[in-house]
Amino acid sequence: MTVNLAVVGLGAFGQKHLDALALIGDANILYVAHSKMDVAQEVAAKYGAKRAFTDYAELLAQPDLDGVILATPTQMHLAQTLQALEAGKHVQVEIPMADNLAGVREIVELQAKTGLVAMAGHTRRFNPSHQYVHNKIQAGEFSIQQMDVQTYFFRRSNMNALGKPRSWTDHLLWHHAAHTVDLFQYQTGEKVVRANAIQGPKHPELGIAMDMSIQLQTENGKICTLSLSFNNDGPLGTFFRYIGDSATYIARYDDLVNGKEEPIDVSKVAVSMNGIELQDREFVSAIQEGRQPNASVASVLPCYEVLDQLAKQLDY
């Protein structure tokens, strides 16, 4: 069964999804949508899409469309996800699926009512480096004692991952911390019961904190320390150190080393080394098999419950 999909939002991450879908045999890039028609038409031609749209409602009305991948600005995620589900379309939405807990719960409730596939783009669940650690945990060969995570960017203006200007402001808590808060609970298999956060000064123009520190503890005492910055003029990205009872692992995107910096081969963990491709494969397979995917909106709800607690501490 071929799954007909549309990618909505054609910035840096929209194009990452399009590149990933092009590698998946059962996925058909049927439509693309963007706020500017010239951009949408150019991308449609590049990826062989049937048609380009600027009107989201018109796109959702297409009877041959099975599902959408939303790579649009954060403030659009909630309304567009609900709109897709109401139109009877499966949906994968980039994180955060909403920038408040009430919105996330609304999505989870509507998904339960419709029974459609709905997942959030929590890519860390799919990166082969993190899958390797997860498999060790599931096999009873490794237990996390502590995770130390650094999420560092140099971003003092509204730029996307390609370094191009964008119209909306990124957020350390609701976007970048969401990856780690979800991954920590996913890898430990436990709920966070204590969460603390502090932040640095807010940027005078962007209006957001540029530095943040977060502490998490699970019900059985496992801890996570997360440092985030948009001020870091150095190596960029997120770096995860897993400290456990039997080993130490350091994950840098799809690369994994042990505590002595000796490389670990993760090339056989999954069918690809690309976390976005693996995430999109899960979306397609879930639609084909009529099941909820890994990173379903319901399964990542605990992440947003913690983010809500932290947001209240930071007085957003």
Q: Is 120 helix (H, G, I), strand (E, B) or coil?
A: strand
pTM for the model stands at 0.93
- Selected residue with higher pLDDT from 159 and 244: 244
How much of the chain is in helix, strand and coil states, percent to nearest 5?
Answer: 35, 25, 35
Is residue 156 a contact partner of residue 203, using CB atoms and an 8 Å limit? yes
pLDDT at 165: 53
Is residue 190 a contact partner of residue 218, using CB atoms and an 8 Å limit? yes
What class does CATH assign to 124-272+303-314?
alpha beta
pLDDT of 4 strictly over 80: yes
Q: Average pLDDT, stretch 59-80?
A: 97
DSSP string, 291-303: SPPTTBTTTTHHH
Q: Which residues pair with 91 in a beta bridge?
A: 68, 118
**Tens digits of residue pLDDT in 90-118:** 999 999 999 999 999 999 999 999 999 99
pLDDT at 50: 97
**Tens digits of residue pLDDT in 264-313:** 999 999 999 999 999 999 999 999 999 999 999 999 999 999 999 999 99
pLDDT at 155: 66
**Tens digits of residue pLDDT in 211-257:** 999 999 999 999 999 999 988 887 778 999 999 999 999 998 789 99
Sequence length of the chain is: 316
- Percent of the chain at pLDDT > 70 equals 95
pLDDT of 161 strictly over 80: no
Q: What average pLDDT does the chain have?
A: 93
Residue ranges per structural domain of the chain? 3-122+275-296, 124-272+303-314
pLDDT at 166: 46
Residues 6+ apart with CB under 8 A from 246: 141, 142, 143
**Tens digits of residue pLDDT in 179-215:** 999 999 999 999 999 999 999 988 887 778 889 999 9
pLDDT at 42: 97
Q: Which fold has domain 3-122+275-296?
A: Rossmann fold (3.40.50)
pLDDT at 169: 54
